[in-house]
Chains A and B, each alone.
Chain A
Amino acid sequence: ETGVTQSPTHLIKTRGQQVTLRCSSQSGHNTVSWYQQALGQGPQFIFQYYREEENGRGNFPPRFSGLQFPNYSSELNVNALELDDSALYLCASSLGAGGYTGELFFGEGSRLTVL
């Protein structure tokens, strides 16, 4: 069973630039969620995609956007980067229907540094 993989693992951008982070979900999972984890904090929910549609969003501005593809992989795009966007970005996949716990399976994250 293939787990959740994310790329790139580390990247450095400057203020005002745009970034795209990628996620391949676990085999058979049709729901992808993205989280932002600032240093020393717990992860915060950005949004969720289910069957290629955004299906829930946290308190993040529109410059955070995403896509989900037919194979259930996903992208997180952040425009007009700000210094506070520096964080670990975690992708998690799960089954959108069925399954008792609906537990989330996380990747190792993409660490973004904005200078």
Chain B
Amino acid sequence: AQKITQTQPGMFVQEKEAVTLDCTYDTSDPSYGLFWYKQPSSGEMIFLIYQGSYDQQNATEGRYSLNFQKARKSANLVISASQLGDSAMYFCAMREGSGNTGKLIFGQGTTLQVKP
């Protein structure tokens, strides 16, 4: 069973508009962390935002916010005011447990294209 599911292989958004990238997860561990990474064509994975399972509020980082719905096991990324430079592959990932292990479980990714 997939632990991280990203159901949108590709998304288009008009420049300056907002877009939501979907992510659902599956874990029986009460302690976990959820991450979003951006991967441009260069290959580097760029950290965007983090949400801990015990965090009461949704995480925000500049134009990025994470819509965390624990009961639904979803952690959607919202990008506001899209820019051309946002065009990239986006990955949702999960770390299980409370330790700072380097093991993340990644989804299949969503390709985002921002139209001018």
Contact = CB atoms under 8 A, between A and B. Distances in A.
A111 to B, nearest CB: 7
B44 to A, nearest CB: 4
A49 B43 CA distance: 22
B42 interface: yes
Interface in A72-107: 88, 90, 92, 94-99, 101-107
B57 to A, nearest CB: 14
B103 A58 contact: yes
Given A31-B102, A44-B106, A94-B100, A106 B50 contact: no
Q: Which of B33, B47, B100 has the most CB of A within 10 A?
A: B100
Contact of A42 (B95, B103, B108): B108
A101 to B, nearest CB: 4
Contacts of B46: 106
Contacts of A111: 43
Contacts of A103: 35, 47, 50
Contacts of B33: 101-102
Given A45-B104, A48-B102, A105 B47 contact: yes
B91 interface: yes
B47 A42 contact: no
Contacts of A33: 102-104
A48 B45 contact: no
Given A101-B50, A107-B44, A108-B42, A41 B100 contact: no
Nearest to A32: B102
Given A45-B105, A102-B33, A106-B46, 5 more contacts: A33-B103, A41-B109, A42-B93, A42-B107, A56-B103
Interface of B: 4, 33, 35, 37, 42-47, 50, 52, 91, 93, 95, 100-109
Ranked nearest first, the 7 interchain pairs of A and B with the lowest CB-CB distance are: A33-B102, A42-B106, A102-B100, A106-B45, A48-B102, A109-B43, A108-B44
